[in-house]
Amino acid sequence: MILAPIVFSKAAAVFNVFDANQNPSRLHLLGTDGLGRDLLLRLAVAARLSIGLALIATAISAVIGSLLGGGTALLPPPIRAVGLRFIDTMLAFPALLLAIFVGAIIGAGAAGATLGVGLAGSFYIARVASALALSVAAREYVVAARVLGVKGLAQLTRYILPNIADTLVIVVTVAVSNAIVFLAALSFLGLGVQSPQYDWGAMLTEGVQQFYVTPVAAIAPAVVISVCALAFGLSGEALARSLNPLLWTGSDSARRPGAPVVNASREAPATDKRMDSKSKDVALRVSNLSVRIPTGGASLDIVMDISFSVAKGEMLGIVGESGSGKTTVANAIVQLVPYPAVVAGTVELNGQDLSKLTKRDLDRLLGTSVAVIFQDPMSSLNPTLRVGVQLTESAEVHRHIDRGEAERVAAGHLREVNIAAAEQQMERYPHEFSGGMRQRVMIAMGLMNEPDLLIADEPTTALDVTIQAQIMEVLRQINRDHDTAIVLISHNLSLVSQNCDRLLVMYAGRIVEELAITDLANALHPYTRALLAVVPDVSRPPDQPLDFIPGHAPHLAARPAGCAFHPRCPLAEDRCRIEVPPLLTREAGGRVACWVANKDLSGKSS
């Protein structure tokens, strides 16, 4: 493309009037034009001018557009509004018209056309850039830079532009293809490149005049213009990827190749009297539950071989740090694990194996016997429906009761979760409630079908402590009054210890310990003990440094071999680094997965 004009320009200029307007032949693959010049050669020569001008025009658009757009986003709000309206107004003009206008002022010719197209394209880029920049400018790192005293232009070039660059690049490459088309159009209209220079647009003009004699002369430039425009559009995405360091520098922990894991999945069945809920009514039994995400190479194991049960009227706490898999367990129970993930193992609700149910029975069982409360109640409430409608909806469907009856039940449950003036509250929309109220509405909604199991996944994490205390009181009351089994998932060990009967501790996708809350002081697993030590406590004397667990929780893609906790464990031995410790039942009750803690047992069981 770059060399073509040098190599072919002479040959492309050779004319032979006798060969004029030839159709394609072996000598002239695409035929000849009105002066008998070879079309293929002329197309190749014109490429440099066409693409070159388009690139220059786009460069003009990109520079003006990103500075105008990005800069506008950084202006103080009242001036910013004016700037944005200006960009919008300019954008409302058809770009081609604007280009013709500018071209006409400067004068027909390559320079005028390029400048015109460049300027016309810049407003589109400015609009996109300002929208992107506005969203980035609100991010904390830009605020942090402002606090640091980073100046306006540096904010734009170091913070805003690099972070919108990948999207902007795609927009710009699309602009190149637009510019090619616009420039061709201007030439076609006679406002662009002037003879004796020629670009694809000019060739198209000439070709169209001979359309009925040699259609190729018009079709060929048109095809080249389209293909070229498409190619630029597609190459943008690849370029954008190369600009994003997140894509080419992997997370450190993720990059470390995981050593082969010796999997000792000999999870002891829960046979212990205190731990086993067989004797009582079991609300939930989870057996050998695993969740993995198949990826390109090795699959990511999120949850591995987890078994536990919850009795009717029991409150079970699941504690773990971020990435421990505790939320995935909750989602797997209610069959809500998102698509690419693969779930193995069985979940039994009231003795019914969920995998054996038909889709319809499953929906009914999940709709009537399980309720889930999530951390963020706003995201689980429909903002456009009155709370009353949302409360009564599922009861009408699943319990076949009429509207009035459902409303009476709903009001009763709202009162139960301490919402005053329940009837009036049902007329309101979710956004009219505070966070604590919304969470209470969610709980009331969960109660509508009188579930046997309530799963509360970090139900109070987004709430204040005084509200948290109120919500926990409501949950305890439900547990007591309706004998509802509750699974409380939380990162807060103190909260779980004060409200639950039993505790599961998860680390890196596995249960590492299960014990009764009353046995908390005798926890055996080093991770549980470490967690107990780091729990913040007001009564701790402030002159001693706080205890902490060295290192950090492992990345899922780079789970350490053997016991996943071994790199942070003060007791780790050689065996811990190689073999995964099995979860064994202790005589005193509870289960522990630790080679060191189970030393007295391992002789017997293996």
Partner 1 sequence: MASRLELKDLVVRYGSGKHSLTAVDRVSLEVPESQTFGLVGESGCGKSTLARALVGLVPVISGQILLNGVDYTSVRSRSTADYRRRVQMVFQDPYSSLNPRMTVGRAIDEAITLRGVTARREKRQLALRMLDLVGLGEPALSRYPHQFSGGERQRIAIARALAVGPEVLITDEITSALDVSVQATILNLLKNLQRETACSVLFISHDLSVVRYMSHRVGVMYLGQIVEHAPAAELFDRPRHPYTWALMRSIPRLGQPHNRAPLTGDLPDPRRPPAGCRFHTRCPIGPLRFPERTICIDEEPRSIPEGQEHRSCCHFAGTVTQAIEASS
Is residue 558 near partner 1 by the rule CB under 8 A?
A: no
Structure tokens at 131: 């929208």
Is residue 374 near partner 1 by the rule CB under 8 A?
A: no
Is residue 296 near partner 1 by the rule CB under 8 A?
A: no
* Cα 8 from Cα 508, distance rounded (Å): 66
* Cα 587 from Cα 598, distance rounded (Å): 11
Helices 435-447 and 465-482, axial angle in degrees (round to 10)? 10
| Of 114-122, 139-147, 293-301, 394-402: span binding partner 1 (CB under 8 A) | 139-147
Q: Per-residue string for binding with partner 1, 216-235, x by CB under 8 A?
A: --------------------
| Of 190-198, 248-256, 259-267, 330-338: span binding partner 1 (CB under 8 A) | 248-256
* Cα 505 from Cα 549, distance rounded (Å): 15
| Of 227-235, 459-467, 574-582, 590-598: span binding partner 1 (CB under 8 A) | 459-467
Is residue 427 near partner 1 by the rule CB under 8 A?
A: no
Cβ atoms within 10 A of the Cβ of 596, count? 19
| Of 84-92, 111-119, 367-375, 470-478: span binding partner 1 (CB under 8 A) | 470-478
Is residue 520 near partner 1 by the rule CB under 8 A?
A: yes
How would DSSP label each residue in 306-372?
EEEEEETT-EEEEE--TTSSHHHHHHHHTT---TT-EEEEEEEETTEEGGGS-HHHHHHHHHHHEEE
- Nearest 5°: the CA angle 304, 307, 311 is 150
Is residue 602 near partner 1 by the rule CB under 8 A?
A: no
Is residue 149 near partner 1 by the rule CB under 8 A?
A: yes
Q: Strands 315-319, 502-507: parallel, antiparallel or unpaired by DSSP?
A: parallel
With contacts defined by CB under 8 A, how many residues of the chain interact with partner 1?
Answer: 69
Structure tokens at 463: 């709430």
Give the H or E element holding residue 453: strand 453-457
Cβ atoms within 10 A of the Cβ of 285, count? 20
Is residue 317 near partner 1 by the rule CB under 8 A?
A: no
- The residue within the footprint of partner 1, chosen from 537, 587, 600, 604 (CB under 8 A), is 537
Nearer to partner 1, 120 or 137 (CB): 137
Is residue 280 near partner 1 by the rule CB under 8 A?
A: no
Nearer to partner 1, 228 or 302 (CB): 302
Is residue 421 near partner 1 by the rule CB under 8 A?
A: no
Give the H or E element holding residue 455: strand 453-457
Helices 95-106 and 161-188, axial angle in degrees (round to 10)? 70
Helix, strand, coil content of the chain in percent (nearest 5): 55, 10, 35
Is residue 569 near partner 1 by the rule CB under 8 A?
A: no
Q: Strands 510-516, 584-585: parallel, antiparallel or unpaired by DSSP?
A: unpaired
| Of 200-208, 251-259, 395-403, 578-586: span binding partner 1 (CB under 8 A) | 251-259
- The residue within the footprint of partner 1, chosen from 100, 330, 553, 569 (CB under 8 A), is 553
Is residue 144 near partner 1 by the rule CB under 8 A?
A: yes
Structure tokens at 518: 């009353």
- The residue within the footprint of partner 1, chosen from 283, 343, 443, 530 (CB under 8 A), is 530
CA distances 242 to 165, 169, 468, Å, are 11, 11, 46
- The residue within the footprint of partner 1, chosen from 494, 522, 605, 606 (CB under 8 A), is 494
| Residue 99 and residue 113 in contact, taking contact as beta carbons nearer than 8 Å | yes
- The residue within the footprint of partner 1, chosen from 76, 260, 404, 545 (CB under 8 A), is 545
516 φ/ψ angles, rounded to the nearest 5 degrees: -75, 145
- The residue within the footprint of partner 1, chosen from 163, 177, 369, 392 (CB under 8 A), is 163
| Of 126-134, 288-296, 346-354, 431-439: span binding partner 1 (CB under 8 A) | 431-439
Amino acid at 271: T
- Residue 498 CB, shortest distance to partner 1, in Å, is 4
- Residue 147 CB, shortest distance to partner 1, in Å, is 5
Question: In 190-215, where does DSSP find H-type helix?
Answer: 200-209
Is residue 275 near partner 1 by the rule CB under 8 A?
A: no
Is residue 549 near partner 1 by the rule CB under 8 A?
A: yes
- The residue within the footprint of partner 1, chosen from 63, 230, 535, 588 (CB under 8 A), is 535
Is residue 571 near partner 1 by the rule CB under 8 A?
A: no
Helices 110-137 and 39-74, axial angle in degrees (round to 10)? 40
How would DSSP label each residue in 355-373?
GGS-HHHHHHHHHHHEEEE
| 563 three-state secondary structure | coil
Nearer to partner 1, 146 or 312 (CB): 146
- The residue within the footprint of partner 1, chosen from 3, 17, 92, 538 (CB under 8 A), is 538
- The residue within the footprint of partner 1, chosen from 469, 480, 570, 599 (CB under 8 A), is 469
Is residue 167 near partner 1 by the rule CB under 8 A?
A: no
User: Looking only at residues 51 through 80 of this chain, which bind partner 1 when binding is defined by CB under 8 A?
Assistant: none
Is residue 81 near partner 1 by the rule CB under 8 A?
A: no
* Cα 378 from Cα 376, distance rounded (Å): 6
Nearer to partner 1, 470 or 602 (CB): 470
- Residue 491 CB, shortest distance to partner 1, in Å, is 7
- Nearest 5°: the CA angle 192, 227, 55 is 45
- Residue 422 CB, shortest distance to partner 1, in Å, is 15
* Cα 347 from Cα 308, distance rounded (Å): 10
406 φ/ψ angles, rounded to the nearest 5 degrees: -60, -40
Is residue 249 near partner 1 by the rule CB under 8 A?
A: yes
CA distances 214 to 205, 209, 343, 415, Å, are 13, 9, 64, 84
End-to-end CA distance of the chain: 73
| Of 80-88, 135-143, 268-276, 282-290: span binding partner 1 (CB under 8 A) | 135-143
Is residue 150 near partner 1 by the rule CB under 8 A?
A: yes
- Residue 436 CB, shortest distance to partner 1, in Å, is 5
Nearer to partner 1, 37 or 566 (CB): 566
The number of residues making up the chain comes to 606
CA distances 528 to 306, 318, 594, Å, are 17, 12, 11
In the complex, which residues of this chain contact partner 1 (CB under 8 A)? 139-150, 158-159, 162-163, 165, 245-246, 249-253, 321-322, 418, 434-437, 464-470, 472-473, 476, 491-495, 497-499, 520-521, 530-532, 534-540, 542, 545-549, 552-553
